[in-house]
Amino acid sequence: MASDFSPAEFGAAWQKFVDYINLQVPPPAPPLPSIKDKIVAFLGDDPKSMTILKELFLERDLPNLQIALDRFLHKPQRSAEKVGYLARHESPDFGLGTIFSARDPWETVTEGPLHYRSVELANGERLECVSKGLYFIHDQETKAVLLLHGNENVYSAYASLPIIVEIVCSQTEHAAAMLTEIRRLVNAHNVYRGQVISLGAKGADDITFHRLPPFERQAIILPASLLQTIERNTLGFAEQAPRLRAAGRHLRRGLLFHGPPGTGKTLTIMYLISQMRGRTAILLTGRIAGLIKQSCQLARLLAPAIVVLEDVDLVAQEREREGQTGPLLFELLNEMDGLAADTDVLFLLSTNRPDLLEPALAARPGRIDQAIEFPLPNAECRRRLLELYGQGLELRLEAADLEDMLRRTEGTSPAFIRELLRKAALIAADQSPDSLDAPTVKANNLREALQSIITEGGQLTKTLLGVAPGTLEEE
């Protein structure tokens, strides 16, 4: 069969087809500008001849670094252009040297989007932080380029790597001064200072903010002399810290609160934290293995500070950790001893079992300055507790009934009084199910609630509520 096209005609038709296809395809985008070329043009010289200064920050310092850079650039005659970058291969030690030494096209670092990370602050606020980018800085007559390289993949093998900040500038002294000022601003505007925080299971960079409810002094039901002693050794000491330091007195202190369960140790600690505003409170909670050293280091950095460890007897026993055996309490006591005497850090420890701690404290003397016992409330304190926990109720007690209840509750704790009022309110509410008013609690409701706790709860409930042994026997 003869062909309908000659070779020349087929070639012409094929060329028309190729030209048509090429017209449909958009022209290739120009290559993204090289960050290296942008830096060279900005600095006006080859940065390879300049010194690169480097500083490492912990991951938790990302918000502090953002605030520091914002304040650093806010000063007169100082401004900056922020530029993102893209690197095909970004190792943990990526930096300005990597950008300048790129030779092959696949190593070239190009312009790209700025990377941000949203970080939670106190009171539920959030701060958008640059986690990866460059700052092209005009500082009066001097130009400098700052690289911020954060660890974005928190689930990678490099999750614990620090944030890298590098500065290149034609004047090394000027770059060093800039880094010094940034470090100062990071420390001065630390978002954790003055807050109630704790370190989490992920380590030193895992920080949680805590919001404590307000605590008033009248909610602390203790003998007047005991509360005065506690306040003198905490609030008074904090107030007089400048004068004591000037007199050469040591500011690092350790107090141990001990007494039966439910006697107000935790409530008193929360009250003290709320009263010492501006002082950072670090709570050692949950699984604290491996976090004691970091917590004490953070306390020193954020001083004045309070370090709180409740139920310290639970960590005073031998535990195996990283191939060595030793009590966590000894580690805490050693860290306390490692702080300088003029470091304004207050350690508040509490326990229900001081007998378990005595050998450890005797083996590490001098770390705890004073042990303060929280006794079971006397009759006057139990009267005040009934008034405190009866707030919001219609509490109708004759004088004789009140005296009888004070006698019956001898040897009980504040926690027991609170539970007694709660159960009595429930009993009173059940007796008037259709009423929307606050329950009216009478003497018979309290007696029934008391009997219910004694007979239904058993010895375990009495132990949990801090009832002294041999008291509250069934009548």
Find out whether 205 and 162 touch, Cβ atoms under 8 Å.
no
Q: pTM of the full predicted structure?
A: 0.82
Q: What is the mean pLDDT of each run of 10 residues along the chain (475 residues)?
A: 66 75 66 83 86 92 96 93 87 84 76 92 92 94 93 51 90 94 96 92 76 88 94 90 81 90 92 92 75 88 93 64 54 81 89 80 75 94 92 88 90 91 92 84 90 79 74 64
- pLDDT for the residue 474: 57
Distance CA 408, CA 392 (A): 23
Integer CA distances (angstroms), 390 to 264, 416, 462, in order = 17, 13, 21
- Predicted pLDDT of residue 46: 81
Question: What pLDDT sits at residue 129?
Answer: 95
**CA 106/CA 90 separation, integer angstroms:** 12
Using an 8 Å Cβ cutoff, are 373 and 259 in contact? yes
CA dist., res. 467 & res. 356, Å (int): 20
* Contact criterion met (CB below 8 Å) for 199 and 309: no
Residues 6+ apart with CB under 8 A from 253: 233, 237, 345, 346, 347, 369
Q: Are strands 320-321 and 324-325 parallel, antiparallel or unpaired?
A: antiparallel
Domains of the chain, CATH where assigned: 35-188 (no CATH), 210-373 (3.40.50.300), 379-464 (1.10.8.60)
User: Alpha carbon 470 to chain centroid distance?
Assistant: 43
Q: Residue 183 has what pLDDT?
A: 96
CA distance 139 to 349: 49
Which sign does the torsion angle of CA 278, 284, 286, 289 carry?
positive
CA–CA distance, 264 with 219 (Å, rounded to integer): 10
Separation between Cα atoms, residue 303 and residue 340, nearest integer Å: 12
Q: Contact at 8 Å (CB) between 109 and 91?
A: no
pLDDT at 43: 92
Strand 196-200, strand 203-210: pairing: antiparallel
pLDDT, residue 286, reads 58
